[in-house]
């Protein structure tokens, strides 16, 4: 076990303690006695310093040519490759995802660094003819200013990277407030950016709790963009604060994602995808497949194999490479899952497996939970409507594709969905009808790639997308430029050439 790390905030290019001198503990969710480190418990004063540093650094960074900014991101990407294994181990230890998934999380940050570095030489605008002679029209992207980035614990490096890299390449400066459960992974990312030569004040990192450190960042008059990924409750609060001063706001919140399994599906493939979607990251992904809507003709067969596979998952310490599913992130999450198990039972859903905390031996040291499957659920049950964020799945029978689509869409969220079918007509109809920002055919609901837009419809978000070129729209404003070289007054819509 590595010794506890005493960590600091990164403000204006310096590693500093919280103004209060207070710190909080970062604990391994698989082994409670493993204290990973102490991180600064920041408050409004720390945020004030970080935002001021970011504001001061903004002018020079905004004027640094974007390809030069990109070179720093390229360097950061290369350093992430060199440090990948160490960072993945830190992440598995602090967050509890299986080592293989932790490596993938770091890989997303690497991919995003390189992708956005490339945007330093793109960030294409438009040129278009003017309606008047001797006049030139074009659009360019302009940075917005200081960005406040607030991130959750389930993708502790990928999500900070999804926000940092596009913000930086567009010429903004940032203050990152990572989740209190996973400050080490965010620290590792910021350290890489420091080592890659990011100028002082351009990237600032403030650890701490949501209400104490996140809220002041959202409220601060100098933060012009807020990008938030987390719960719908907090997202709503953040949106209300941002509305007061018309800040740019990108929200990425909950999901109640669905896999539709049709009667003609390759059932083996569908089960494999459903197990991965439901129990990968212990169900703690915003794209987790928490509902499986299955055609009645294959419902029994599918559920039998699915339950068998769920029971066979190897659960334990994520640092053990054989382990497929780690613990839940913390006690609160464990209590939430327990609460939903009780709700499901009361609603009359049939518990097919799991439904309890794992205990005995090493399990007593962590927040381990048995993969849980509820059968014969009706679409209106709370376990089929509300986001649980744990290894809990609701199986819902359907009579045909139309009904499956209706059930699939009948939730407030709209992040990801998928269909398993051998019928191309069904696949295309579902593709058109599903109200989700992400849709898969013959694949699970998880597995986004960084060069495609990521985000959800309905109450999952507020219409923005992360990743891909779409992310640049969050971190830049279009400036439309007209250059009149006629040497005379030309009036649009009035003068005819
Ligand atoms: P989760 O349930 O996934 O932990 P939260 O929405 O509670 O999601 O947290 C996501 C991020 O938002 C974390 O970094 C957390 O510290 C932060 N946060 C929580 N409350 C607030 C708040 N009132 N204002 C700003 N950020 C907050």
In the reported structure, the alpha carbon of residue 209 is separated from the centroid of ligand 1 by a whole-number distance in angstroms of 8
User: Which residues, at least 6 apart from 404, have a Cβ–Cβ distance to it below 8 Å?
Assistant: 260, 262, 293, 295, 398, 430
pLDDT, residue 4, reads 81
Beta bridge partners of 55: none
In the three-class reduction of DSSP (H, G, I as helix; E, B as strand; rest coil), residue 282 is classed as helix
Neighbours of 375 (CB within 10 A): 22
For 340, the token pair is 């939903």
CB 234 less than 6 A from any atom of ligand 1: yes
- Residue to probe by mutation, ligand 1, list 152, 227, 283, 386, most atoms within 8 Å of CB: 152
**Rounded to 5 degrees, what are φ and ψ at 465?**
-130, 145
User: Which residues, at least 6 apart from 229, have a Cβ–Cβ distance to it below 8 Å?
Assistant: 150, 151, 152, 159, 163, 251, 252, 253, 286
Residue 217 CA, closest ligand 1 atom number: 25
In the reported structure, the alpha carbon of residue 442 is separated from the centroid of ligand 1 by a whole-number distance in angstroms of 34
> Whole-model pTM?
0.97
CATH topology of domain 5-253+461-480: Aldehyde Dehydrogenase; Chain A, domain 1 (3.40.605)
User: Within 13 Å, how many C-alpha atoms sit on residue 92's CB side?
Assistant: 25
Helix boundaries (H) for 348-458: 401-409, 424-433
CB distance 437 to 465 below 8 Å: yes
pLDDT, residue 33, reads 95
pLDDT, residue 59, reads 97
pLDDT, residue 5, reads 82
pLDDT, residue 497, reads 59
pLDDT, residue 1, reads 67
CB 215 less than 6 A from any atom of ligand 1: yes
CB 218 less than 6 A from any atom of ligand 1: yes
The DSSP string of 249-274 is EEEE----EEEEE-TTS-HHHHHHHH
Residue 209 CA, closest ligand 1 atom number: 16
pLDDT, residue 459, reads 97
pLDDT, residue 496, reads 81
pLDDT, residue 479, reads 98
- Reading the chain (497 residues) residue by residue, the pLDDT tens digits are 677 888 999 999 999 999 999 999 999 999 999 999 999 999 999 999 999 999 999 999 999 999 999 999 999 999 999 999 999 999 999 999 999 999 999 999 999 999 999 999 999 999 999 999 999 999 999 999 999 999 999 999 999 999 999 999 999 999 999 999 999 999 999 999 999 999 999 999 999 999 999 999 999 999 999 999 999 999 999 999 999 999 999 999 999 999 999 999 999 999 999 999 999 999 999 999 999 999 999 999 999 999 999 999 999 999 999 999 999 999 999 999 999 999 999 999 999 999 999 999 999 999 999 999 999 999 999 999 999 999 999 999 999 999 999 999 999 999 999 999 999 999 999 999 999 999 999 999 999 999 999 999 999 999 999 999 999 999 999 999 999 999 999 999 999 85
CB 179 less than 6 A from any atom of ligand 1: yes
To the question of domain 257-441 being in CATH 3.40.309.10, the answer is: yes
The DSSP string of 81-109 is HHHHHHHHHHHHHHH---HHHHHHHHHHH
Q: Ligand 1: which residue has its CA nearest to atom 16?
A: 210
Residue 150 CA, closest ligand 1 atom number: 14
In the reported structure, the alpha carbon of residue 308 is separated from the centroid of ligand 1 by a whole-number distance in angstroms of 36
User: Which residues, at least 6 apart from 446, have a Cβ–Cβ distance to it below 8 Å?
Assistant: 276, 277, 280, 281, 285, 287, 288, 289, 416
CB 329 less than 6 A from any atom of ligand 1: no
CA angle 182, 183, 188 (to 5 degrees): 110
User: Which residues, at least 6 apart from 188, have a Cβ–Cβ distance to it below 8 Å?
Assistant: 83, 87, 90, 91, 157
CB distance 438 to 418 below 8 Å: no
CA angle 451, 416, 105 (to 5 degrees): 50
CB 211 less than 6 A from any atom of ligand 1: yes
In the reported structure, the alpha carbon of residue 42 is separated from the centroid of ligand 1 by a whole-number distance in angstroms of 14
Q: Which of 326, 315, 322 is nearest to 96 (CA)?
A: 326
Q: Where are the domains of the chain?
A: 5-253+461-480, 257-441
CB 226 less than 6 A from any atom of ligand 1: no
Catalytic residues: 252, 286
User: Which residues, at least 6 apart from 429, have a Cβ–Cβ distance to it below 8 Å?
Assistant: 401, 405
Q: Which residue has the tokens 């601060």?
A: 220
Which helix (H) or strand (E) is 368 found in, with range?
none
Largest CA distance in the chain: 85
pLDDT, residue 206, reads 98
């Amino acid at each position: 076990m590595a010794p506890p790390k005493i960590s600091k905030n990164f403000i204006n290019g310096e590693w500093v303690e919280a103004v209060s001198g207070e710190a909080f503990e970062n604990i391994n969710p698989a082994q409670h006695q493993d204290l990973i480190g102490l991180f600064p418990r920041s408050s409004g004063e720390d945020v004030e310093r970080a935002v001021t540093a970011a504001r001061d650094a903004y002018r020079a960074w905004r004027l640094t040519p974007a390809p030069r900014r990109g070179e720093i991101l390229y360097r950061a990407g290369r350093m992430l490759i060199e440090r990948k294994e160490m960072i993945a181990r830190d992440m598995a230890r602090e967050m509890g995802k299986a080592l293989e998934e932790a490596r993938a999380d770091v890989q997303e940050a690497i991919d995003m660094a390189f992708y956005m570095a490339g945007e330093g030489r793109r960030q294409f605008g438009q040129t278009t003819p003017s309606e008047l002679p001797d006049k030139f029209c074009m659009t360019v992207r302009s940075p917005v200013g200081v960005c406040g980035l607030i991130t959750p614990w389930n993708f502790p490096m990928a999500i900070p990277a999804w926000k940092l890299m596009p913000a930086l390449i567009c010429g903004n400066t940032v203050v990152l407030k990572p989740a209190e459960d996973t400050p080490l992974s965010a620290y590792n990312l910021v350290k890489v950016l420091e080592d890659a030569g990011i100028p002082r004040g351009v990237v600032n990192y403030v650890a701490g709790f949501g209400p104490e450190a996140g809220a002041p960042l959202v409220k601060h008059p100098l933060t012009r963009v807020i990008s938030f990924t987390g719960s719908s409750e907090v997202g709503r609060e953040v949106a209300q604060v941002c509305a007061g001063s018309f800040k740019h706001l990108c929200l990425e919140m909950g999901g109640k994602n669905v896999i539709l399994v049709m009667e003609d599906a390759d059932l083996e493939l569908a089960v494999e995808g459903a197990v991965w979607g439901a129990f990968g990251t212990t169900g703690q992904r915003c794209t987790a497949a928490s509902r499986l809507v299955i055609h009645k003709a294959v419902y029994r067969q599918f559920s039998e194999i699915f339950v068998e596979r769920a029971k066979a998952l190897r659960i334990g310490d994520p640092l053990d490479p054989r382990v497929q599913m780690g613990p839940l992130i913390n006690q609160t999450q464990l209590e939430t899952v327990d609460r939903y198990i009780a709700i499901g039972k009361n609603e009359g859903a049939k518990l097919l497996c799991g439904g309890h905390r794992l205990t005995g031996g090493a399990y007593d040291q962590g927040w381990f939970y048995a993969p849980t499957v509820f059968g014969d659920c009706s679409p209106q049950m709370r376990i089929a409507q509300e986001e649980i964020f744990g290894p809990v799945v609701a199986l819902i029978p359907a009579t045909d594709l139309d009904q499956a689509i209706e059930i699939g869409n009948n939730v407030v969220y709209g992040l990801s969905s998928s269909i398993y079918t051998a019928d191309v007509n069904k696949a295309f109809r579902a593709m058109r009808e599903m109200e989700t920002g992400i849709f898969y055919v013959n694949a699970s609901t998880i597995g986004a790639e960084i060069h495609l837009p990521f985000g959800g419809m309905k109450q999952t978000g507020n219409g923005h997308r992360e990743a891909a070129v779409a992310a640049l729209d969050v971190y830049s404003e279009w400036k439309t430029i007209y250059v009149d070289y006629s040497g005379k007054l030309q009036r649009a819509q009035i003068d005819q050439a």
